[in-house]
Amino acid sequence: MKICWYNQQQLGVVDGGRVFDVSAALEALPRPSYPAAAPGDLLVAHLDAVRSAIARLLPSATSIAVEEARFLSPVANPGKIIGVPVNYADHVAEANADQATFTDRYKGEVRQQGLFLKASSALVGPAAGVALRFPERLSHHEMELGVVIGKTAANVRLEDALDYVAGYAIALDMTVRGPEDRSLRKSVDSYAVLGPWLVTADEIGDAQKLDIRLDVNGEPRQRANTAEMLIGIAEQIAWASRYYTLHPGDIIMSGTCAGVGQVLPGDVMDCEIAGIGAMRVAVRAAQE
Ligand code: MN
């Protein structure tokens, strides 16, 4: 099932090129309380109940064409966004070959560098686009598979790790290049794009064999297959969960391949992952 937030915070299901309004399925959610009984994104935490409600609503739901929908992030309220650095060999090679751009204070392979965090306030959907905050500096696109955690995970075993995945989406780990700590440079408002919808894990099957592509203004920039990850999704989850508890709605951006490059105001990024779909993300200056 492809689940989305679109237009005026409507809940949708995407099927056959249409977006069906299933907002009434939100009535399956428990009423919010404060402080929350359990951290995490309320919808992702109760995805099974919502899916049952959606199945009842779908036959009579109204719909619009996918092209008419403005997609928000398919996770509304993640607790954290986890990044995986240097996780494709060809990206490691391009970074090592250009130390002037990739001023790398971080050394070693992915297990030595460790995971990083992006501020959840950076998260937007594709319709919002990316707003460049520092025009004099390099902002790069990093095209990645986004993994959405479905249930609370602490110290999970590698062989159980994929049981904790709710689904997958296309992710952009936008990055300002420079000497500061990675988490700062990757946490600018709108520098975490997730979309266009959440594809539930049961629909994806093996997420470790998906073709990824990103074009800028129609020019090919990034091409890869998720099979090329140096550490796979299961290891990312098991590893992360040894340090901090993962909650429903937490997002892992699983690393980028070669071909990262600069974007400028007016550019258009076209992103596609096989089995998920495609999204177009416009780039503008933050002042506009
Ligand atoms: Mn990245």
DSSP for 252-275, written as a single string: EE----S--EE--TT-EEEEEETT
Distances (CA, A) of 131 to 83, 210, 273: 20, 28, 23
| Exposure b/e, 161-189, CB count within 10 A at least 16 = b | bbebbbbbbbbbbbbbbeeeebeebbbbe
- pLDDT at position 37 is 77
Measured in Å, residue 167 CA sits from the centre of ligand 1 at 19
Measured in Å, residue 196 CA sits from the centre of ligand 1 at 18
Residue 99: CB atoms within 10 A of its CB come to 9
Measured in Å, residue 51 CA sits from the centre of ligand 1 at 31
- pLDDT at position 194 is 98
Residues in the chain: 288
Measured in Å, residue 101 CA sits from the centre of ligand 1 at 15
Phi then psi dihedrals of residue 109, to 5 deg: -80, 180
Spell out the residues 6+ positions from residue 155 whose beta carbon is closer than 8 angstroms to its own: 241, 242
Break the chain into its structural domains and give their ranges. Answer: 2-68, 81-285
Measured in Å, residue 147 CA sits from the centre of ligand 1 at 13
Phi then psi dihedrals of residue 243, to 5 deg: -95, -45
The two tokens of residue 65 are 């064409």
| Exposure b/e, 259-280, CB count within 10 A at least 16 = b | bbbebeeebebbbbbeebbebb
Measured in Å, residue 172 CA sits from the centre of ligand 1 at 8
Contact 161/235 with Cβ under 8 angstroms?
A: yes
List the chain pLDDT tens, one digit each, 288 residues: 999 999 999 999 999 999 999 999 999 999 888 888 788 999 999 999 999 999 999 999 999 999 999 999 999 999 999 999 999 999 989 988 888 888 767 788 999 999 999 999 999 999 999 999 998 999 999 999 999 999 999 999 999 999 999 999 999 999 999 999 999 999 999 999 999 999 999 999 999 999 999 999 999 999 999 999 999 999 999 999 999 999 999 999 999 999 999 999 999 999 999 999 999 999 999 975
Measured in Å, residue 175 CA sits from the centre of ligand 1 at 8
Instruction: Return the CATH superfamily for domain 81-285.
Output: Fumarylacetoacetase-like, C-terminal domain (3.90.850.10)
Angle, alpha carbons 93-272-222 (nearest 5°): 20
Measured in Å, residue 243 CA sits from the centre of ligand 1 at 19
Please name the amino acid found at residue 278: A
Measured in Å, residue 207 CA sits from the centre of ligand 1 at 18
| Exposure b/e, 63-78, CB count within 10 A at least 16 = b | beebeebebbbbbbeb
Measured in Å, residue 233 CA sits from the centre of ligand 1 at 14
- pLDDT at position 104 is 67
Measured in Å, residue 113 CA sits from the centre of ligand 1 at 13
